Amino acid sequence: MRTLTVVLALAVAMTVATLVTPVAQSRRGGQPVQSHTGWSAYLGSADSAQYSALTQINRQTVSKLEAAWSFPSGNRNFMFGPLVADGLTYVLAGANELVALNAATGEKVWTRSHAGSVGTRGMNYWRSADGVDQRLLYMAGGHLTAVNATTGEPITTFGDQGRVDLRVGLRTSTGLAFPDLRPLQTSNPGRVFEDLFIIGLPAQGTGYESNPGDVHAYDVRSGALRWVFHSLPRDGEPGADTWPREAWKTHGGVHNWSELTIDEGRGIAFVPFGTGRFDFYGGDRPGNNLFANSLVALDARTGKRLWHFQIVHHDVWDYDLPTAPRLLTIRRNGRAQDVVAQPTKQGFVFVFDRVTGEPVWPIEERRVPQSDIPGERTSPTQPFPTRPAPFARQSFTEKDINPYLPAEDREAIRARLRSYRNEGLFTPPSFQGTVQAPGHGGGANWGSSAVDPTRGELYVLTKSLPTMLRVQPIGSGTRNTPPTDPTAIVSREDVERLKAQGTEALSTGPLRYNVPYNYQFINTYAMTPIGPPWSELVAYDLNTGDIKWRVPHGTVAAPAAIGIPADSGAHWPRGGLLATAGGLLFGATSSDRTLRAYDRDNGKVVWETKLPAASEGVPATYEVGGRQFIVVPVAAGHGWNPPRFPTLPPPPPGSYVAFALPQSAVSR
């Protein structure tokens, strides 16, 4: 075991300091940057804080909250986070309709329809320094789209009649044809910084053949491509030696599919990257594979790399970085320190100095189990932060089996656990099956954390979703080969036979394997195999690195006969968090269709209300006319509905619901 003091990847602190130009006094739209009093950016602000400095709704007043208005979004599931600017609230509804609402009343102001799908999680707002030009920028049908924020009409001087095809930028930046490339649609809303729109390109498909997920910056006025960062390094670039030669021409992935964050004062973009393709086998990409699974700090004006830290080496678990890095200020050794905190699927929080990339607490490279799949070469070590403690459960054994499953299901899971590889967090995928906990769908995910940037506190919503990873030979290389029965227990003899066949096949060339996605120990109720709590809220004091508290988040609406307790935690939640200076944390759930307000200091529920449908988005809050509103996307149907639970009526239509204090309470 050895301790990493810092990983700067060929960049030193002195160089970083010279590349970053402070602009702490810069202003946008007449307001200081990162004031946290509005919601004109995805997740509230460019720093991805999911935090509001508004205090009208607080511990003392939250009990008076009532529904102020609602707007129907149709019969499709939506997780689109509302955006609010200049008295308008922007939402998604119907068949890819962008809608502007009166922020005080919820009345429709204008609607714009789209032929292709609109980015499902959110969008961006930009306003010129003189306030005359106001634009919305978002993804639709694989095109970066710009419309007038006041009227919804396209900005015809932007790109080609208001649209920029991201495929053109990819072909330009790589020099590759990509003849079969479909439109590069992504749910990542990207970020606006000054007069730039920054976005990570999506990696098309989940198999071996995929484009690289370079980061592009476009001019918000013209749509012209201004800079490119190669997430899969070109030959001769830093990091290229961690891939096979010319891998950028034949490999893909390494994409910022989730979210990105910008320190506007310093002009730094923090980009969390995903896995190199294929997600669960890397025999054709030997090496650590930078910048996959890395947090990379870029100069937001030029795209130059300032520093990076690779959080998973040579990923074969789909442990991509799933959520935006969070910016906050902590106090260490009597002084203030600006840091960036990165939650992960594994349940870790990595904390770095924003400018230098130096870890706040030591990070240890620990030895981990190795792959026994012919052709695979996994990293001998992986990074483990020594502090803070993990927020997720990182193991799944027989003692953890869900006690609310039928006896025959529990016994089947027990038998499978005894036959699988189960050697800890980084046990590689295997022929017999490998236990993965909290699972590549567990831990943190997009929108699932928030901070109080001034108190140095981080709040994470985590879920336990153990998964089984089983490697299957596919011969021809296509991932469309029908998989074998994923529930079958593979004998030792079959495992040895598969190893021998793989070793023999290596003599004729590189191998490829299939690993089915999202196999979650199938059982009668389609529930996670692990016992509750299935989801929790965890609060960190990052001034000390301590966990302040952890509580179950929500419950499960299930038949009484099953006996699931009220503190079970929601099942498979996808909603996000909102932290406020009023001392509250807001979070909605899908499995019990409830919006809750938690006391930020102790995690106690101080208010809750039932929602008309499930919620899987991030709440927004803003003030208009002297009244603070909280708007929640409520458009996920019934949420989790196990097959053998009682038959439910058709899913309720979706809506956006705004809550506020009664006008009489505000006026006093």
Helix (H) or strand (E) holding 409: helix 407-419
Residues 279, 206: contact at Cβ < 8 Å? Answer: yes
Average pLDDT over residues 31-50: 87
Predicted confidence (pLDDT) at residue 125 exceeds the cutoff of 60: yes
Kindly indicate the confidence band of residue 10, based on its pLDDT and cuts at 50, 70 and 90: very low
- Residue 25 reports pLDDT greater than 50: no
Residue 3 has what pLDDT? 41
The alpha-helical segments, DSSP class H, found in 20-175 are 166-174
Residue 173's φ and ψ, nearest 5 degrees, are -75, -25
DSSP code per residue over 368-396: -----STT----SEEEEESSSPPSS----
Q: Out of 158-172, 270-284, 444-458, 641-655, which region has the weakest mean confidence (pLDDT)?
A: 641-655
Average pLDDT estimate for 380-390: 98
Highest mean pLDDT among 193-207, 269-283, 512-526: 269-283
Centre a 10 Å sphere on the Cβ of residue 245 and count the other Cβ atoms it contains.
9
Query: Mean pLDDT lowest for which of 45-54, 113-122, 506-515?
Result: 506-515
Q: Residue 460 pLDDT > 90, yes or no?
A: yes
Q: What is the average pLDDT across 560-580?
A: 86
Q: Tell me, what's the pLDDT at 33?
A: 55
Any idea what DSSP says for residue 159? B
pLDDT over 50 (residue 469): yes
> What are the backbone dihedrals phi and psi of residue 497, each rounded to the nearest 5 degrees, phi first?
-65, -45
90: its two tokens: 């922007």
Lowest mean pLDDT among 356-370, 422-436, 473-487: 473-487
pLDDT at 643: 55
**Residue 105 in tokens:** 């009343």
What is residue 583's DSSP assignment? T
Please determine, for residue 517, whether its predicted confidence score (pLDDT) is greater than 50.
Answer: yes
pTM for the whole structure:
0.94
pLDDT at 144: 98
DSSP 8-state assignment for residue 117: P
Question: Rounded mean pLDDT of 47-58?
Answer: 98
According to the model, what pLDDT value does residue 482 have? Answer: 42
Written as six digits, the tokens of 203 are: 């990696």
**DSSP for 631-667, written as a single string:** EEEE-STT----TTSPP-PSPPPEEEEEEE--HHHHH
Calculate mean pLDDT across residues 432-436: 94
Tell me the pLDDT band of 483, cut-offs 50, 70 and 90: very low
Assign 26 a pLDDT band (cuts: 50, 70, 90): very low
CB-based contacts of 650, cutoff 8 Å, min separation 6: none
**CATH H-level, domain 2-667: superfamily:** Quinoprotein alcohol dehydrogenase-like superfamily (2.140.10.10)
CB of 448 within 8 A of CB of 462?
A: yes
Q: What is the token pair recorded at 527?
A: 């529930």
Confidence band for 185, pLDDT divided at 50, 70 and 90? very high
pLDDT interval class at 77 (50, 70, 90):
confident
pLDDT at 559: 64
Half-sphere exposure of 550 (CA within 13 A, CB side): 18
Nearest C-alpha neighbor of 464 from the set 382, 396, 558:
396
Report the alpha-carbon distance of residue 385 to residue 417 in Å, rounded.
Answer: 28
Residue 70: C-alpha distances to residues 30, 418, 458, 591, 666 (Å) = 30, 51, 31, 21, 20
Structure confidence at residue 22 as a pLDDT band (50, 70, 90)? very low
Q: pLDDT at position 590, please?
A: 85
Report the share of the chain in percent with pLDDT over 70.
Answer: 91
For strands 449-452 and 457-463, give the pairing.
Answer: antiparallel
Kindly tell me if the per-residue pLDDT of 360 is higher than 90.
Answer: yes
Residues 170-189 have a mean pLDDT of 92
Using alpha carbons, select from 97, 119, 137, 91 the residue that is nearest to residue 187: 119
Region 268-274: what's the mean pLDDT? 98
What's the pLDDT at 573? 79
Hey, is 612 helix, strand or coil? Answer: coil
What pLDDT is stored for residue 380 in this prediction?
A: 98
Across the range 550-570, mean pLDDT stands at 84
Rounded to an integer, the average pLDDT of 44-48 is 97
- The DSSP call for residue 275 is P
pLDDT tens digits, one per residue of 189-209: 999 999 999 999 999 877 888
The token duo for 497 is: 């036979």
What is the model's pLDDT at position 339?
98
